Amino acid sequence: MRTAPKSRPPDVARRIKRIGVLTGGGDCPGLNAVIRAVTKSAIYRYGVRVFGIEDGYLGLIEDRVGELSSLHASGILTQGGTILGASNRASPTRYCVDPDADVPCFVDATDKCLATIARHELDALIVIGGDGTMSCADALVERGVNCIGVPKTIDNDIVGTDITFGFTTAYTTATLSLDRLHSTAASHHRVMVCELMGRNAGWLTLHAGLASGSDVILIPEIPFDIDAVCRFVRSRTHRGRGFSIVACAEGACPRDGAPVVARHDPTSPDPIRLGGIGEQVANQISDRTGIETRTTVLGHVQRGGPPVAADRVLATQFGFHALEMVMSGARNRMVVMQNGVIGNTDIRHAAHAQRLVPRDHPLIDIARSVRTSFGDEAS
What tens digit of pLDDT does each residue of 189-231 get?
A: 889 999 999 999 999 999 999 999 999 999 999 999 999 999 9
Nearest CA to 193 among 289, 257, 273?
289
Q: Which of 185 and 222 is assigned the larger pLDDT?
A: 222
Q: Is the pTM of this model over 0.85?
A: yes
User: What pLDDT is stored for residue 242 in this prediction?
Assistant: 78
pLDDT band at 269 (very low <50, low <70, confident <90, very high): low
Beta-strand (E) ranges in 130-243?
147-151, 191-196, 216-218
> Do the two domains 2-165+307-350 and 170-303 of this chain adopt the same fold?
yes
Is the predicted pLDDT of residue 244 greater than 80, yes or no? yes
Report the pLDDT averaged over residues 239-253: 90
pLDDT digits (tens, 9 = 90+) for 128-178: 999 889 999 999 999 999 999 999 999 999 999 999 999 999 999 999 999
User: What pLDDT is stored for residue 6 in this prediction?
Assistant: 47
User: Backbone phi, then psi, for 13, in 5-degree steps?
Assistant: -60, -40
| Adjacency order of strands within the sheet including 124-129 | 2-3, 341-346, 333-338, 147-151, 124-129, 18-23, 49-53, 65-68
Query: What CATH code is assigned to 170-303?
Result: 3.40.50.460
Query: What CATH code is assigned to 2-165+307-350?
Result: 3.40.50.450
User: What pLDDT is stored for residue 378 in this prediction?
Assistant: 59
Positions annotated as catalytic residues are 155
| Range of lowest pLDDT (7-11, 50-54, 241-245, 339-343) | 7-11
User: What pLDDT is stored for residue 103 in this prediction?
Assistant: 79
In order, the DSSP letters of 196-227 are: E--TT--HHHHHHHHHHT-SEEE-TTS-B-HH
Is the predicted pLDDT of residue 7 greater than 60, yes or no? no
Q: How far is the C-alpha of 347 from the C-alpha of 271, rounded, in Å?
A: 23
Q: How far is the C-alpha of 117 from the C-alpha of 61, rounded, in Å?
A: 10
Is the predicted pLDDT of residue 72 greater than 60, yes or no? yes
pLDDT band at 4 (very low <50, low <70, confident <90, very high): very low
- Give the CA dihedral 212, 217, 218, 219, nearest 10 degrees: 70
Q: How far is the C-alpha of 236 from the C-alpha of 215, rounded, in Å?
A: 9
Report the pLDDT averaged over residues 79-88: 91
User: What pLDDT is stored for residue 11 in this prediction?
Assistant: 63
Domain ranges of the chain: 2-165+307-350, 170-303
Q: In this structure, which amino acid lies at residue 63?
A: D
Contact predicate 32/84, CB 8 Å:
no
**DSSP summary character for residue 357:** P
Report the pLDDT averaged over residues 339-344: 96
Q: What are the Cα distances from residue 298, in Å, to 50, 301, 347?
A: 36, 6, 31
pLDDT band at 264 (very low <50, low <70, confident <90, very high): confident
Is the predicted pLDDT of residue 247 greater than 70, yes or no? yes
Mean pLDDT score across all residues of the chain: 91
Is the predicted pLDDT of residue 373 greater than 80, yes or no? yes
Nearest CA to 181 among 276, 301, 29?
301
Q: Is 77 helix (H, G, I), strand (E, B) or coil?
A: coil
Report the pLDDT averaged over residues 285-311: 93
User: What pLDDT is stored for residue 10 in this prediction?
Assistant: 53
Task: Give me the percent of the chain exceeding a pLDDT of 90.
Answer: 75
